[in-house]
Amino acid sequence: MKPDHIAIETLSKHLGEEVTLRGWLYNKRSSKGLHFVVLRDGTGLCQCVVNEEQVDAASWEAASEATQESSLELKGTIRADERQVGGIEMQVTAAKMYQKAEEYPITPKEHGVDFLMNNRHLWLRSRRQWAILRIRNSVVMSIHNFFQERGFLQMDAPILTGTAVEGTSTLFEMEYFGRPAYLTQSGQLHGEAMAMAFGKIYTFGPTFRAEKSKTRRHLTEFWMIEPEMAFYDLEATMELAEEMLSRIVSDALRDCQTELEVLERDQEPLRRSIGTYPRVTYSEAVDILHSRKTADMVRDKIASTEEEKAALEAEREAGKAAYGQAKKWEKRKIDAREIEIAVRLNDIEEELRNLPKWLESAQNFEWGTDFGGSDETLITWHFDRPIIVHRFPHEFKAFYMKRDPEDDRLALGMDVLAPEGYGEIVGGGERATDLEFLQAQVRKHGLPEEAFTWYFDLRRYGSVPHAGYGLGLERTVTWICGIHHLRETIPFARTLDRLYP
Ligand code: 4AD
Ligand code: MG
């Protein structure tokens, strides 16, 4: 039999009823004869009032004993109370404890990010992680709905592969029954085969890159969504990416208001990201990097970051000064805020170290080289919504890219850069269709031709213009959440120095 408890998020439909909740103790305040237990069940929080005079002795003892994260069953009547989280409160009639939690390691005092990442299996229970991972769920569902409604076939590309797709420097190699194999960097090539079989397809799966640098944008295991469409050109592909992102953003704004509020996400930039996005050529983007305006923007940013730092430090000092006289619940609030401040100050230190370097590299940027993360960030500062950069020099692009018929120096690639400094979330473009050209490119990139025999067949048997792109799920969620680092957008992040938990 399925358990009979109901979800906290549905409580407003049960006003006046006697119901059962099951979950974990998020917080507890007590006074004589009363416990105010805030219960967490994964769908929301609910304040549950346990009155010694209204419950039996065993229930009272359970509520009295319960520590942070102890697991509980609470029965009681639901009533409206505007002052409470969710505007609802439970008057408890019976309480039962499943397990009394040991002293919980994540306390509302200062924790470094490393400590929190080492305790990721527990950190997932916090309010902020709740918000982020629910937004991830919304983004996943939007993507499936978007493509399914448009007649795309979802396909699963192999994870074990025999070749590189996106350059050989980030391959995870393994031994496969005595020969080398790799974890896939992208499902695109197999996606192309499926597009020739089904017209329009999309992959939704894990991809792997041995990223040897620590950045806030790189995971070694991340989820990519790769649509591939027969008979689409570069323009059509840019339009599809724009429509897909608009859909993701508008669904998140509609379905994740509570989550966005928990994250204190400024929603204005998201609202502006529904619609059409400016198209910017690579060459125009290079001009932006060299512009006077970019230099001014970086200097302004340094000044405003210094101000933010000073304000946060002052807030922390004020918290410390008030601590002695603060009530217990006020102390918790100060402690919780101190964690946020510490995390932010950490990032600010990094930003202040980086900004002068970013400016220098933008000013010295050479046409013909690839944008770095900081270049993308600076370019996005000039726009108030996502932009699509297209037509890159082919030298630093993948072997499969089609050349621009108007300018042979360029490849028909495109990247969508998310605003507010987030940078690339989508990369894609039109594919080369000519067999000889493609064979020459594979050789030029030092890739083993025999591994691509099947791929070349796609250009032998009914080759057609086609195009597609890859959307990085974690980078997209990072942007929608408005958070700094993508490690929080996946339940268990894998990076250069993290394989635990
Ligand atoms: O630009 P990329 O390398 O493109 C491809 O892999 C193409 N084969 C896609 C295609 O045309 N079908 O990667 C696509 C996206 C990036 O824009 C970024 O959002 C994400 O994948 N990405 C990463 N996300 C997290 N960590 C990493 N190490 C990532 N590398 C790429
Ligand atoms: Mg890319």
| Structural domain count of the chain | 3
> Do 403 and 478 have their domain in common?
yes
pLDDT at 380 over 90: yes
133 shares its domain with 253:
yes
Residue 338: predicted pLDDT: 87
Cis status of the peptide bond prior to 491, with omega within 30 of 0: no
Q: What is the mean pLDDT of residues 50-79?
A: 98
Based on the fold, state whether residues 168 and 82 are members of the same structural domain. no
Q: What is the CATH number of the domain that holds 443?
A: 3.30.930.10
> By residue range, what is the domain housing residue 137?
117-278+383-489
Dihedral of the alpha carbons of 17, 20, 24, 30, in degrees to the nearest 10: 60
Residues 388, 483, single domain; the answer is yes
Pocket test for ligand 1, best of 186, 190, 473 (most atoms within 8 A of CB): 186
Ligand sitting nearest the alpha carbon of 486: 1
Task: Give yes or no for a contact between 350 and 120, defined as CB atoms under 8 angstroms apart.
Answer: no
Can you tell me the mean pLDDT for 337-356?
90
Q: Are residues 211 and 131 in the same domain?
A: yes
Residue 330: per-residue pLDDT: 87
Handedness of CA 12, 13, 17, 18 (dihedral sign): negative
Note the pLDDT of residue 81.
87
pLDDT-derived band at 500, boundaries 50, 70, 90 = very high
The residues placing their C-beta within 5 Å of ligand 2, an ion, are 427
Question: Residue holding tokens 């070749």?
Answer: 163
Tens of pLDDT, residues 402-461 = 999 999 999 999 999 999 999 999 999 999 999 999 999 999 999 999 999 999 999 999
Whether 272 and 298 share a structural domain: no
Print burial letters for 358-370: b (CB count within 10 Å at least 16), e (below 16): bbeebeebeeeee
Instruction: Name the band, by pLDDT with cuts 50, 70 and 90, for residue 53.
Output: very high
Dist. CA 166 → ligand 1 center (Å): 9
Q: Is 289 a member of any domain?
A: no
Q: Tell me how far apart the alpha carbons of residues 25 and 62 are, in angstroms, rounded to a whole number.
A: 11
Please determine, for residue 216, whether its predicted confidence score (pLDDT) is greater than 80. yes
Residue 385 confidence (pLDDT): 98
Within 13 Å and on the Cβ side, how many CA atoms surround 317? Answer: 6
Per-residue model confidence (pLDDT) at position 139: 98
One domain, residues 335 and 257: no
Whether the predicted pLDDT of 73 surpasses 80: yes
Inside any domain, residue 324: yes
Nearest CA to ligand 1 atom 5: 470
pLDDT of residue 23: 98
Nearest partner of 291 among 356, 355, 359, judged by Cα: 359
Same domain, 152 and 249: yes
- Which of 229, 475, 486 to mutate to test ligand 1, by most ligand atoms within 8 A of the CB atom? 475
Q: Which residues have a Cβ under 8 Å from the Cβ of 258 and sit 6 or more positions away?
A: 131
Q: What is the CATH number of the domain that holds 60?
A: 2.40.50.140
**Of 78-82, 86-90, 111-115, 304-308, which one has max mean pLDDT?**
304-308
Average pLDDT for the chain: 95
Between 337 and 139, the higher pLDDT residue: 139
Examine residue 175 and state whether it is found in any structural domain, yes or no: yes
Q: Which residue, 117, 3, 122, is CA-closest to 68?
A: 122
Q: Are residues 239 and 349 in the same domain?
A: no
Q: 159 with 249, same domain?
A: yes
Distance of CA 127 to the CA centre of its chain: 16
pLDDT at 347: 87
Q: Which residues line ligand 1 (CB under 6 A)?
A: 165-166, 186, 188, 209, 211, 218-219, 222, 224, 226, 424-428, 468-470, 472, 474-475
- Inform me whether the pLDDT recorded for 86 exceeds 80: no
* Residue 140 located in a structural domain: yes
- 250-268 confidence digits (pLDDT tens): 999 999 999 999 999 999 9
pLDDT at residue 331 above 90? no
Q: Where are the alpha helices (DSSP H) in 109-203?
A: 113-118, 120-123, 127-149, 188-198
Task: Indicate if the pLDDT at residue 108 is higher than 70.
Answer: no
Same domain, 181 and 252: yes
75 and 150, same structural domain?
Answer: no
> Which tens digit of pLDDT belongs to each residue from 166-201?
888 899 999 999 999 999 999 999 999 999 999 999
pLDDT digits 0-9 by tens, 7-33: 999 999 999 999 999 999 999 999 999
- Is the pLDDT at 110 greater than 70, yes or no? no
Residue 367 is assigned to a structural domain of this protein: no
Q: What is the pLDDT of residue 164?
A: 83
